[in-house]
Amino acid sequence: MIRTELKRGTAELAILSVLEQGPLHGYEIGRRIEEHSAGALCYTLAALYPLLYRMEHRGWLHASWMIGDNGKRRRCYRLTTRGKKMLKPMRAEWRDLFRALRRVARVSHA
């Protein structure tokens, strides 16, 4: 089980990564992150939405109301050019972090 504090730091990268495949609404973002992480990363509303709003205000995401397959209006988020630009350095940063952790704490053998 991953602790909440650790999960928070990963949320930005997780959101940007799932939105790289196309626009999604809040519930679907949370669901896909949970699915792709095999249930390890599961965000509550309190963790997900403030971050989505912050990323939207920073210009990384653009949100607009769209009509879904079931005819319901959903607020969908899509990656902006600035958001796409953020993804690459963020991935590199996490890769460096994991590499460093592996060296220091031998995480891969833990």
Partner 1 sequence: MPDWRAYVRENLDRLPGSPAEQRQVVRELAEHLEEYYLATRANGLSEKEAFANACAQAGNWEELRRGITLAQQEEIMQERVRQIWLPGLVTLLASYFVLAALQRAAMRYFAAHPGIPHGVVYYVPWLLLLPLVGAIGGYLSRRARGTGYQAYFAVLVPALGIGTFFLFLFLLAFVIGPRITLATKVSALAMGIINWAIFPGAALCAGAALQSLRRKNAVSSRGPRTV
Contact call for residues 18 and 29 (beta carbons, < 8 A): yes
The Cα–Cα gap between 70 and 18 comes to 21
Element (H, E) at 78: strand 73-79
Q: Does 54 bind partner 1 (CB under 8 A)?
A: yes
Q: Closest approach of Cβ 52 to partner 1, in Å?
A: 9
Q: Closest approach of Cβ 63 to partner 1, in Å?
A: 9
Figure out which of the listed residues 36, 44, 88, 103 binds partner 1, where binding follows CB under 8 A: 44
Question: What single-letter DSSP state applies at residue 71?
Answer: S
Q: Closest approach of Cβ 101 to partner 1, in Å?
A: 27
Closer of 70 and 108 to partner 1 (Cβ): 70
Distances (CA, A) of 20 to 4, 16, 24, 39, 101: 24, 6, 10, 20, 27
Q: Which residues bind partner 1 (CB under 8 A)?
A: 25-27, 30-31, 44-47, 49-51, 53-54, 57-58, 72, 74-75
